[in-house]
Structure 1
Amino acid sequence: MSQYHLDGFALVVGAAGGIGEEVAYSFAEAGVKGVLLADINAEAVQKATAKAESLASNSSCRCISTVVDVTDLNSVEEMVSLMVKEFGRIDYCVNAAGVDTLTYCPIDETDPDDYDRVMAINTKGMFLIIRQVAKVMKSQEPRIINLGRHGNRDAGRGSIVNVSSTMAVVAVQGKISYATSKHAITGITRAAVMDYKSAGIRTNQVCPIWVRTPMFAEECRKVPKTSQIVEGLSAVKRPVEPDEVAAACLYLCTPGAVAVNGLTLTIDTGLTAGPMVI
């Protein structure tokens, strides 16, 4: 369907692994003209960039990589400047960089330095990225897309997707830093909607439960019964796959979602809808 084809330029932050890596691959497969893959891990993001280019369905698609520290304003500014220099505009921005708390423990035992680290990456980093990306999106012309039998459609000036977590709407014990940072992303997302919807910039968030990523593997190491918990709570009896989250991010950037703005899209197999009682 033409509504699910992408032909603009994408910035994917946190693209060296997990969800962000799959997002970059999905965008390349969907037909974008270019992707900038950004991550703090230089070697890993270079490998992901090469694979993304090999998966591109658009023969003219160009994939490049850069190193970014999302907590550093200068680093974020350099990343966005590179995007504009290489591609001229930013049509899609997916914020997928994030970390977990180092130690699962009650609030009264939480290390304030670790709290600051998690908030700096998960929350301040997203703020800094949107701050710079929005400046570019506001200044660029809206994209008019031909949808064949549906005619032309104004796709606006850009789409921002924030990768959050089901912990943005619920909480579990021992993860104050992570839960707070993800709840804050909801605030960032909604604030961006209010600031930029009149400019034709859409901002949405996806909130998956446990996803089969290196972060999930580390959680299983810290709490060995995690896999058993997931199997018991998830309707599909397994973690969500990274490509399933990437598919949601992709949808939110397509012409088929131009009316979707401010959405919290939970990818949780129905877990947060309510408890199983039968």
Structure 2
Amino acid sequence: MDMTKRLAGQVALITGGGTGIGAAAARRLVAEGASVVLSGRRQEPLEAVAAELGDAALVAAGDAADAADVERMVAAAVDRYDRLDMVVANAGGHGLGAVSETTDDDWELAMRVNVTTAFVTARTALPHLRGRGGSIVVVSSLAGLFAGPAVAGYVTAKHALIGLTRSLARDYGRDGVRVNALCPGWVRTPMADEQMDVLAAQRGIDREAAYRLVTRDTPLGRPVEPDEIAAIVAFLLSPDAAAMTGSVVVADSGAAAVDLPTIAFAPDAQ
């Protein structure tokens, strides 16, 4: 793909940068001229992505919910590249179970891995973003807009990320910082693969059939690919999105456009 280099000279910190959306975003941002600092709790996948990207990538492993770890990540970016312009707050994880099945520890973990990671990363990066046109993309989910079954922690946390996005946009827009939320639907990532495998086992089908099942009622009828989400991340960070802050961008194969009570009237409904 012939990139425009619209992010030339910029530096991005990407949390959850070793796999899935984070890794795809890293590749896309580098292709558009940026350098990236890859963070995550597992060193090996971070190193694998960095090896692909060469001098444009730096690994800074750590827990994005831990203030001291994030301070080290930001310091690593500034030490290596002498600046930090962008953040992709992508770290996240599960929050499985209905409310009655969710322990205090489960709840706190869901908040920590999904919300606290974005909060701490944004707070730490802000001094470097203010006054220089910095930009943040907060990766929420379609679960930030709608509730799935028995995922109370995840749904609540992803809703909270939209509130965090709007608060950041409101408070720091006059400092030139733009903050937007991205809400993907089903994306073909390792985490989604795990969920498809659970569904496949329940239905006696394979993973690909499970993906078809969960997307059959969406207008596009397929899961989203990580590279497609990465392209939206790059757009939101770029000058092409200069008028956008506090926005919630949905990339879900059209799922949110569907009126669920009318699905039974579709010609191919079963």
In the TM superposition, what are the counterparts of 1:1-278 in structure 2 within 5 Å? 5-7=6-8, 8-32=10-34, 34-53=35-54, 62-101=56-95, 103=96, 105-138=97-130, 142=132, 157-224=133-200, 225=203, 226-275=210-259, 276=263, 277-278=265-266
Question: Structure 1 CA distance, aligned partners of 2:175 and 2:37?
Answer: 23
* Deviations 1:70-110, CA, capped at 9 Å, x for gaps: 12111111111111111121111111111013x4x322112
Structure 2 unaligned spans of 5+: 204-209
* Deviations 1:226-267, CA, capped at 9 Å, x for gaps: 434323222222211001111100001111111111110000
TM-score, normalized by length of structure 1? 0.86
* Deviations 1:208-242, CA, capped at 9 Å, x for gaps: 10110111111112222543432322222221100
Secondary structure of the structure 2 residue equivalent to 1:93: strand
RMSD, aligned α-carbons: 1.8
- Distance apart, 1:50 and its partner CA: 1.1
Partner of 2:206: none
The percent identity for this pair of structures is 32
Q: Which stretches of structure 1, 4 residues or longer, exceed 6 Å deviation after superposition?
A: 1-4
Query: Per residue, is there more strand in 1 or in 2?
Result: 1
Residue 243 of structure 1 aligns with an amino acid whose one-letter code is D
* Deviations 1:174-209, CA, capped at 9 Å, x for gaps: 000100010000010000001110000000011010
- Distance apart, 1:2 and its partner CA: 9.2
Secondary structure of the structure 2 residue equivalent to 1:67: coil
Secondary structure of the structure 1 residue equivalent to 2:154: helix
Question: Structure 2 CA distance, aligned partners of 1:206 and 1:165?
Answer: 7
Question: Structure 2 CA distance, aligned partners of 1:193 and 1:123?
Answer: 16
Partner of 2:207: none
Residue pair 1:208, 1:268 contacting (<8 A) in 2 also: yes
Aligned residues between the structures: 252
- Distance apart, 1:167 and its partner CA: 0.6
Question: Structure 2 CA distance, aligned partners of 1:97 and 1:258?
Answer: 24
TM-score, normalized by length of structure 2? 0.88
Question: Structure 1 CA distance, aligned partners of 2:193 and 2:26?
Answer: 21
- Distance apart, 1:172 and its partner CA: 1.1
Residue 233 of structure 1 aligns with an amino acid whose one-letter code is D
Secondary structure of the structure 2 residue equivalent to 1:233: coil
